[in-house]
Structure 1
Amino acid sequence: MESLLKAELNYSFVKSTGQGGGGCISSGNVYDTDKGKIFVKDNAKSGAKLMFDGEYAGLKAIAETNTIRVPKPFKVIKRSHGAILVMEYLNMHSLHGHAKELGRKMAELHLSNAKNERLQEQESSYVGKLSSNFVTKFGFDTTTCCGYLPLVNEWCNNWVNFYLQNRLKPQLDMVEQKYHDSEARKLWPDVEHNFPKLFPSSLEIKPALLHGDLWGGNTAELENEPCIFDPGAFYGHSEFDLAISHMFGGFPSSFFSEYHSLIPKAEGFNERLKAYQLFHYLNHWNHFGGGYRESSLSIMRNLAKL
């Protein structure tokens, strides 16, 4: 690994520190180099390069908003078996003292695209000066992953259609292929038909840059600020990012209160939150098996009865 990193990144010195990391998808190791410490994620799956290319693009997009700290990505390197992602090493600790600040910074991330829209409107009166980068659709330029499963990020003008066709439908197709679950198959037409009822006419949804997989294990803090990592980024409804943060714990009330001080809960928030959690339960079902079946079907049953 040391020789590969030297050759690919033009380092003259690379040595493993013996520090490890990573999660249930990829392994990670820390290296000392002549240009500072780096963190290297390693995955031997055939789709690893696609996954890491998406993570690289997501980290880069989030960093460019200047709202919340993420590890700076350096390079994705394809190997004979899988790929590696090289990024900045950050001395992370469990989220504790900076949870409230994380709530504020996540809201600022979600508002960053709308801020670009306002800047573009202001700059439009100046000929030849359009520096802001406002995204008008839902999706992402690159395939990203939630876990190791690729997301369908084809651009779409309508959020409801995007969520149904690019998030729920692919997950249910995988469930059908793996498990041939007759109840999930039977419930889907009613879920698809009723889902738009969760969106009152007063609700305006503008594309927001999302982390995409904001559970507690993908958040941390440095000495002076919070940080996030392992994104499955795309432009979507800001509420989607909060769905998984309510599922597995790790976020104190100060995180949510600070977030909602900048982005207040809209009409129907709690009902939509459950509908957004459906994606994550289906995704876990496809990753980890039938232990997530009942949670998935319970939400689908409720949506089918709207």
Structure 2
Amino acid sequence: MYHLTSDWLAQLPVANINHFEPVSGGDINESYAISDGTHKYFMKVQPGRGKQFFAHEVEGLKLLSQAANTPEVVAFGEINGDGYLILKWLDQSSGSQFELGQMLARVHQIHRDQFGLDHDFTVGKIPKHNQWQSKWQTFYVEQRLKPLIELAKQKQRWNKNRSQHMSNMIEQINEYYANQPVTPSLLHGDLWSGNFTFSNGKPYLIDPDVFFGNREFDIAVTTVFGGFSQEFYSGYNSIYPLKKGVEKRLGWYRSYYLLVHLVLFGETYGPALDNVLEPF
């Protein structure tokens, strides 16, 4: 855990911080609960990564907030080269997954005319290349799958079997979308169960990695590690029904998410990736 000094804390734009303690907040950031005695905040720190690390998340929260509940950004910046992001604290509660699904559907109804985003995100462990593309298959294969495959090769976590099945899958993707139009939707981009919560009974989306893409990408990610009930999908479909045959296509995107985990965390995720790729 990164050691926050009183001098470091004194430079925050929130005055009179008199209490801070580490809290769980995923495996990417150092996370803390901080308080000035009156208000409580959630703070994430990226040692040595600078302000730019959190600019992408702040932009994502802003975009999602057009249609979703998101944590309120108090401030983000840099102290001694360390990036930080301060959000208003959310007290967790129970809530309706049906409403969560409806909320995600409304996010996906925010559309653009191309796939991508107006900036890349290259300061994370997995660089995201977001140049605008008119074809979904071009964006997904060239700017998501292939860079990850290269990283897996560099870490010696790639093999002939994975390469063959991935090539077959990419061929399927290219063939399918050559004749199937896709409307670019605003995506959360990393929608596993750790990236939603409930506060005062309302659903919230947190920790986004946004871009405009195929909404089936977000849906596929929700199915990889569980945590989303049937009510979630019912709520989603009540607002923005998924297209016929979606189950057959989800593997195209589950493979990406498991490949991310293979690159970041190692061969522990190899069998799950191989299992998803096996049908191709």
- Structure 2-normalised TM-score? 0.88
Question: Is 1:266 equivalent to 2:243 in the alignment?
Answer: yes
Q: Tell me the distance in 1 between the aligned counterparts of 2:185 and 2:122.
A: 18
SS at match of 1:173: helix
Alignment partner, residue 72 of structure 1: 72
Deviations 1:31-54 (A, max 9, x none): 22388322110222x546443222
Question: 2: distance between equivalents of 1:146 and 1:237?
Answer: 24
**Match for 1:172: what amino acid?**
I
The residue correspondences of 1:1-306 to structure 2 (distance < 5 A) are: 3-4=7-8, 6-9=10-13, 11-18=14-21, 20-33=23-36, 36-44=39-47, 46-47=48-49, 49-63=51-65, 65=66, 67-80=67-80, 82-93=82-93, 96-113=94-111, 135-144=112-121, 148-179=125-156, 181-183=158-160, 184-199=162-177, 201=179, 203-303=180-280
Quick one: which amino acid aligns to residue 13 of structure 1?
N
**Unmatched tracts of structure 2, length 5 or more:** none
C-alpha distance after superposition, 1:189-233 (max 9, x if no partner)? 4333222234483x4321111111111111110113110101111
In structure 1, C-alpha distance between the alignment counterparts of 2:145 and 2:123, rounded to whole Å: 13
Equivalents in 2 of 1:208, 1:261: separation in Å? 17
Encode CA deviations 1:125-155: one digit per residue, 9 max, x unaligned.
xxxxxxxxxx321111233489842212111
Write the letter of the residue equivalent to 2:61: L
Count of residue pairs the alignment pairs up: 275
RMSD: 2.5
* Residue identity (%): 27
Residue 86 of structure 1 and its aligned partner are, at CA, apart by 1.6
Matched letter for residue 101 of structure 2: G
CA distance in 2, matches of 1:224, 1:230: 19
1:29 shift after superposition: 1.2
Give the distance between the partners of 1:48 and 1:24, measured in 2 at CA.
Answer: 18
Q: For residue 293 of structure 1, report the CA deviation from its aligned partner.
A: 1.6
Moved over 6 A (4+): none
For 1:59, the aligned partner's letter is L
Q: Supply the distance in 1 between the matched residues of 2:81 and 2:126 (Cα, whole angstroms).
A: 18
Name structure 1 gaps, 5 residues minimum.
Answer: 114-134
Shift of 1:18: 3.5
The alignment partner of 1:214 has SS state of coil
The answer to which structure has the higher helix fraction is 1
The separation in 2 between residues aligned to 1:110 and 1:145, in whole angstroms, is 24
Over 3 Å counting, the alpha-carbon distance change for 1:51 and 1:192 in structure 2 is same
